[in-house]
Amino acid sequence: MSRVILHVDANCFYASVECLYRPELKGKPVAVCGDPAARHGIVLTANYPAKKCGVHVGQAVWQALQLCPELVTVAPDYGLYTHFSALMRNIWLDYSDRVEAFGLDESWIDVSRPDMTVAKGVRLADEIRERVKRELGITVSIGVAENKVFAKLGSDMKKPDGTTGIYPETFREKIWPLPANELLYVGKSTTSSLRRLGILTIGDLARADSRVLKGALGKNGLLLQAFALGLDASPVMKAEHNAVVKSVGNSTTTCRDIATVDDARCVFFLLAESVAARMREQGLKGRCISISIRETNLSRASCQMMLPSPTFLTDDLIHGACTLFEQNFPHRLPLRSVGLSCSHLTPADAPRQMSFCGDEKRILQREKLDAAVDDLRRRYGHNIIQRGNVVGDKDFSLLSPKEENTIHPVPFFAG
């Protein structure tokens, strides 16, 4: 039985939801933007009138206003967007139990069954589009194909409010002329590597010498070539599926530059607390601590270290992060942002080698202390209890790192 996969992408999602709740914005150029005062001043989503003026995602707000002086900027309301995302998901679940989210505004839906074809999938996609418009008041674009990669490509082809079918017998004519960077997971770095090999289109990638691709990109080169050939066989996970977590991380752009080592320690204390708390929530311990920095000129750097044994203790993450920073980056100050993550994860209840140095009692005491702090913050909010060096800094003490915490699942083409 051949598969039929839909990829649904909500058009200008954040901006569309905002315009739905603010009818006076209809027809005006609108952008949902971060807060410039908090140094998150970039465009998160722009509607189509704004895009016609050259406004795009990732652009600084001041640049967007230069291109479109009449642009209406709106602060994001993530609670509202999450609510709409859940409403859309409920619609998808009426058609299949295999629904895999790709962010708040995108999902794959596997509608395969013995009598289903791509042509029937296109008709089903049209039904779904009309239902979203009628029930939620926003529009979506949908790609229909026999695999997830081509379905994702299809959803980008007719915007807004369109359906595109990628048929197995004609996909070469439709897909191969497209630029290689339109293929899922071909980012800037990979695009540059492909360009150096003379590979500019998806067709070039499909026809390339696999030995050359492997030499330049490793196994990912072969995977991308398989995608270009329509050989993606990755499944759409069931709605209740929990992705295997590869790392737990957090980063923040601070309200002012991180100017001193003490500033950096203060921010890493905050990040370590949020990452460790998330690991304990997920029942995970990790052995590899990684930190990243971004300087005021936006250049980046990172480093990592392995711990003797897996941990989810806040103090272990703090010590590791501060050690890494003080050994590698004090000369890179001032900084605009920093990040911390923990990988090489194992279940928290996995058997472990006990120490001969008599540390077990101390470890158990620290685990109980962290659990007590987690409970207080769960009941009364993150700032109910803070460390002394954080309280002493009036700027960084206002950060709420838990809200920015991110969990990184195993990559789409891992393994």
- For the chain, give every domain's residue range: 1-168, 176-235, 245-409
Assigned fold of 176-235: DNA polymerase; domain 1 (1.10.150)
How is domain 245-409 classified at the CATH fold level?
A: Dna Ligase; domain 1 (3.30.1490)
Q: What is the pLDDT of residue 415?
A: 33
What value does the mean pLDDT take over residues 233-248? Answer: 74
At residue 243, the pLDDT reads 53
State yes or no: pLDDT of 231 exceeds 70.
yes
Average pLDDT, the chain: 87
Q: Please identify, in words, the CATH class of the domain defined by 1-168.
A: alpha beta
DSSP run (H or E) holding 99: strand 99-101
pLDDT at 358 over 80: no
Residues with Cβ < 8 Å from 118, sequence gap 6 or more?
4, 144, 145, 146, 165, 166, 167, 168
pLDDT at residue 389 in the model: 65
Residue 239 reports pLDDT greater than 90: no
Q: What is the pLDDT of residues 68-118, one digit of tens each?
A: 999 999 999 988 999 999 999 999 999 999 999 888 899 999 999 999 999
Listed range (79-88, 169-178, 260-269, 342-351) with the worst mean pLDDT: 342-351
Look at residue 156 and tell me whether its pLDDT is greater than 80. Answer: yes
Q: Inform me whether the pLDDT recorded for 152 exceeds 90.
A: yes
Structure tokens at 52: 């016609």
| pLDDT over threshold 70, residue 293 | yes
Q: Is the pLDDT of residue 304 over 70?
A: yes
Spot the catalytic one: 18, 100, 106, 146: 106
Q: Exposure pattern of 355-388 as b/e (b: 16+ CB <10 Å)?
A: eeeeeeeeeeebeeebeebbeebeeeebeeeeee
Give the per-residue pLDDT at 183: 95
What pTM value is reported for the model?
0.67
Residue of higher predicted confidence among 32 and 371: 32
Most confident stretch, 206-220, 294-308, 347-361: 206-220
106 is catalytic: yes
